[in-house]
Structure 1
Amino acid sequence: MKALVLAGGKGTRLRPLTHTSAKQLVPVANKPVLYYGLEALRDAGITSVGIITGDTGQEVREAVGDGSRFGLEVEYIPQEAPLGLAHCVLIAREFLGDEPFVMYLGDNFLVGGIRDLVESYQAAGHDAQILLTRVAEPQFYGVAELGPSGEIVGLEEKPEHPRSDLAIVGVYIFSPAIHEAVRAISPSARGELEITDAIGWLIERGHHVHSHLVSGYWKDTGRLQDMLECNRIVLEQVEPEVHGTVDGLSEITGRVVVERGAVVENSVLRGPIVVGANAKIVSSYIGPFTSIGPDCVVADAEIEYSIVLDGSSVVGVSRIGHSLIGRNVEVSGTTGAPNTHQLMVGDHSKIKVQA
Structure 2
Amino acid sequence: MKALVLAGGTGSRLRPFTHTGAKQLLPVANRPVLFYALDSLVAAGIREVGVVVGSHGREIRELAGDGAEFGLRITYLQQSRPLGLAHAVRIARDFLGDDDFLLYLGDNYLPQGVTDFVRLAAADAAAARLLLTPVADPSAFGVAEVDAEGNVLRLEEKPDTPRSALALIGVYAFSPAVHEAVRAIAPSARGELEITHAVQWMVDQGLCVRAETTTRPWRDTGSAEDMLEVNRHVLDGLEGRIEGKVDAHSTLIGRVRVAEGAVVRGSRVVGPVVIGAGAVVSNSSVGPYTSIGEDCRVEDSAVEYSVLLRGAQVEGASRIEASLIGRGAVVGPAPRLPQAHRLVIGDHSKVYLTP
Measured against the shorter chain, the TM-score band is over 0.9
Aligned to 1:142: 142
Offset of residue 104 of structure 1: 0.6
Matched residue, 1:181: 181
Residues 1:268 and 1:338: Cα distance change in structure 2 (over 3 Å):
farther
8 Å CA contact 1:7–1:54 kept in 2: the answer is yes
AA matched with 2:210:
H
Range with greater deviation from structure 2 (159-168 or 9-18): 159-168
Secondary structure of 1:196's counterpart equals helix
Aligned to 2:346: none
Q: State yes or no: 1:118 paired with 2:118.
A: yes
Residue aligning to 1:86:
86
The residue identity in structure 2 corresponding to 1:315 is E
Contact 2:134 2:215 survives alignment (8 Å): no
CA distance in 1, matches of 2:48, 2:176: 16
Distance of 1:72 and 1:328 partners within structure 2:
32
CA contact (8 A) 1:100 1:176 kept: yes
Correspondence 1:2-13 to 2 at 5 A: 2-13=2-13
Q: How does 1:150-161 map to 2 (within 5 A)?
A: 150-161=150-161
Code of the residue aligned with 2:101 in structure 1: it is F
Q: Distance in 1 between matches of 2:216 and 2:189?
A: 34
Matched, 1:264 2:269: no
Q: Does 1:200 align with 2:200?
A: yes
How far apart are residue 338 of structure 1 and its match? 6.8
How many Å apart are 1:312 and its aligned residue? 1.4
Aligned 1:45-60 pairs, distance under 5 A: 45-60=45-60
Measured after TM superposition, the shift of residue 160 of structure 1 is: 2.2
Q: Percent identity?
A: 54
Residue 353 of structure 1: aligned partner = none
**Structure 2 match to 1:249:** 249
Q: What is the TM-score of this pair, normalised by structure 2?
A: 0.94
With the length of structure 1 as denominator, give the TM-score of the two structures.
0.94
Shift of 1:159: 1.9
- Output one character per residue of 1:41-93: Cα deviation in whole Å (capped at 9) or x when no partner: 11111111111111111111111111100000011110111111000000100
Q: Residue 296 of structure 1 corresponds to which residue in structure 2? A: 296
Deviation at 1:215, TM superposition (A): 5.5
Residue 345 of structure 2 corresponds to which residue in structure 1? none
* Alignment correspondent of 1:40: 40
Whichever of the two has the greater Rg, that structure is 2
Q: Secondary structure at the match of 1:133?
A: strand
What is the CA deviation profile of residues 283-317 of structure 1, one whole-angstrom value per residue up to 9, with x for unaligned ones?
00111111000111100011111100111111111
Q: Which amino acid aligns with 1:256?
A: V
Report the Cα distance in structure 2 between the residues aligned to 1:280 and 1:98, rounded to whole angstroms: 52
Query: Structure 1, residues 155-212: CA drift from partner, whole Å, max 9, x if none?
Result: 1222222222111011111000000000000000111100000000000011111111
Kept in 2, the 8 Å contact 1:275–1:291? The answer is: yes
| Structure 1 residue 244, shift from structure 2 partner | 1.2
- Mapped contact 2:139–2:162 kept (Cα < 8 A): yes
Distance 2:215 2:100 in 1: 22
Structure 2: gaps spanning 5 or more residues: 340-355
Q: Distance in 2 between matches of 1:236 and 1:51?
A: 29
Separation of aligned partners in 2, 1:215 and 1:141: 16
Partner residue, 2:212: 212
Deviation at 1:216, TM superposition (A): 3.1
How many residue pairs match? The answer is 339
Which runs of structure 1 show a deviation greater than 4 angstroms over 4 or more consecutive aligned residues?
none
Q: CA deviation at 1:217?
A: 1.6
Does structure 2 retain, via aligned residues, the 8 Å contact 1:112–1:215?
A: no
- Rounded Cα–Cα distance in structure 2 between residues aligned with 1:21 and 1:69: 22
Q: 1:93 and 1:103 mapped to 2: Cα distance? A: 13
Structure 1 counterpart of 2:4, one-letter code: L
- Unaligned 5+ runs, structure 1: 340-355
